Amino acid sequence: MGQVSGVSLEGRRILVTGTSKGIGACIAPALGAAGATVIAHYGSDRDGAVAATAAIPKDRCHLVQADLNDLTAVERLWDEAESFAGGIDVFVNNAAVMRFDGGFDEPLEVWDRIWNEAMQVNVLAPARLMRRAVNHFLPRGGGAIITISSWAAQRGVTNPATIAYGASKSAVRAATQSIARAYAKDGILAYIIAPGVVRTRLSEQFAATQGGEEKISANLASGEWVTPEELAKLVAFLATGQVPQLSGATLDVNGASYIR
């Protein structure tokens, strides 16, 4: 991922969750190429996070491990990020989990496990971090939160086995919107990005449950999946804070397949 054309993030200190693979593995290097100091979170795949951030100078990059199932670890994640960078200017709320065995016909214990994990990792952990971000930004005159949600938050999921994921993405979207409304006058910006079908391992696994990639692509207006690189460019632009009146918006990135 090279420099995003026309975007400078020099001096910006940015915490990104879930950088070892997927969208996050493209976001982190894009921010670094634009000049930001990047605090890159990972859960268990340190090698993936190392590879994603390899091009960022070591003095502008710090890796932090945290299990988002553990709220104590979530608090430590923010503390370590803030300590390394001397403060945080932007929080990119990206990490999430999606399981494919949470359908209505599953045993109750499986249903509960899938829901509990989705709420913990996709909602409660991000909410803790957004809480820390708001309280950090307030005395500093502002900051930005960028949440990666999903078009499933608006339109529901097509595979009922992923219902917990869809619901969690709706919840984190609403939380981000609430921050935007409540703290606009304090200079805190909050954006939601709602991608459609993104070329990631998770989406490829999802496509397999729906009849394959060709079937998924045939239902897309452009016939093409969203690339993680395109989302990374959008995140980098939003991180500049150049369009404050866009705060609170949900930016649909789906190739005209879902238009509201």
Candidate CATH numbers 3.70.10.10, 3.40.50.720, 3.30.70.20, 2.40.10.340; the one for domain 13-253: 3.40.50.720
Residue 112 and residue 102: Cα distance in Å, rounded? Answer: 8
* pLDDT > 70? residue 3: no
CB 72 within 8 A of CB 125: no
Q: Running DSSP on this structure, what letter comes out for residue 4?
A: P
- The predicted-structure confidence for 25-76, as pLDDT tens digits, reads as follows 999 999 999 999 999 999 999 999 999 999 999 999 999 999 999 999 999 9
pLDDT number for residue 89: 98
pTM value? Answer: 0.94
- Neighbour count for residue 154 (Cβ, 10 Å): 16
Q: Token pair of 75, please? A: 């608090």
pLDDT tens, position by position, 212-258: 898 889 889 999 999 999 999 999 999 999 999 999 999 999 999 99
pLDDT band at 5 (very low <50, low <70, confident <90, very high): low
Rounded to whole angstroms, how far apart are CA atoms 184 and 165?
28
Closest CA to 192 of 153, 136, 225, 224: 153
Query: Is 34 within 8 Å of 51 (Cβ atoms)?
Result: no
pLDDT for residue 244: 97
User: What is the C-alpha to C-alpha distance for residues 141 and 162, in angstroms, rounded to an integer?
Assistant: 39
Q: Copy the structure tokens of residue 49.
A: 């996070």
Query: Is the predicted pLDDT of residue 190 greater than 70, yes or no?
Result: yes
Q: Domain map of the chain by residue range?
A: 13-253
